[in-house]
Amino acid sequence: MSAQVHALVERTYRHESRRVLATLIRYLGDFDLAEEALHDAFMAAVDQWPREGIPDNPRAWLVTAGRFKAIDRLRRRARFDASLDTLAERLDEAPRGMGDPADVEAVEDDRLRLIFTCCHPALTASAQVALTLREVCGLTTEQIAHAFLTRPATVAQRIVRAKAKIRDAGIPYQVPEATELSERLESVLSVIYLVFNEGYAASMGERATRGELAEEGVRLGRLLLGLLPDPEVMGLLALMLLHEARRGSRTSMAGEPVLLADQDRRLWDRDMIAEGRALIGRAFATGEVGGYTLQAAIAAVHAGAASAEQTDWARIVGLYDVLAQASPSPIVELNRAVAVAMRDGPEAGLFLVDALLARGELVDYRLAHAARADLCRRLGDDERARCAYQRALDLSEQQPERAFLERRLAELDGIGVSETTTPHPEGGDGASRP
Summarised one tens digit per residue, pLDDT across range 125-183 is 889 888 988 888 788 888 788 766 678 999 999 999 999 999 888 888 877 777 777 77
For residues 141 and 2, give the distance between their C-alpha atoms in angstroms, rounded to a whole number.
32
Inter-CA distances, 33 with 30, 119, 169, 362, Å? 5, 20, 17, 39
Tell me what pLDDT residue 83 has: 53
Radius of gyration for the alpha carbons in the chain, expressed in angstroms and rounded: 23
C-alpha 151/C-alpha 341 separation (Å) is: 33
User: Tell me, what DSSP letter sits at residue 257?
Assistant: B
Sign of the C-alpha dihedral computed for residues 176, 182, 187 and 190 taken in this order: positive
Residue 109 has pLDDT above 60, yes or no: yes
Instruction: Tell me the per-residue pLDDT of 326-335, one tens digit each, with 9 for 90 and over.
Output: 999 999 999 9
Residue 294 has pLDDT above 60, yes or no: yes
Domain segments of the chain as ranges: 2-107
| CA 3 to each of CA 9, 58, 59, 65, 401: distance values in angstroms, whole numbers, following the listed order | 10, 17, 20, 22, 32
Could you give the angle at the alpha carbon of 105 between the alpha carbons of 139 and 87, nearest 5°? Answer: 70
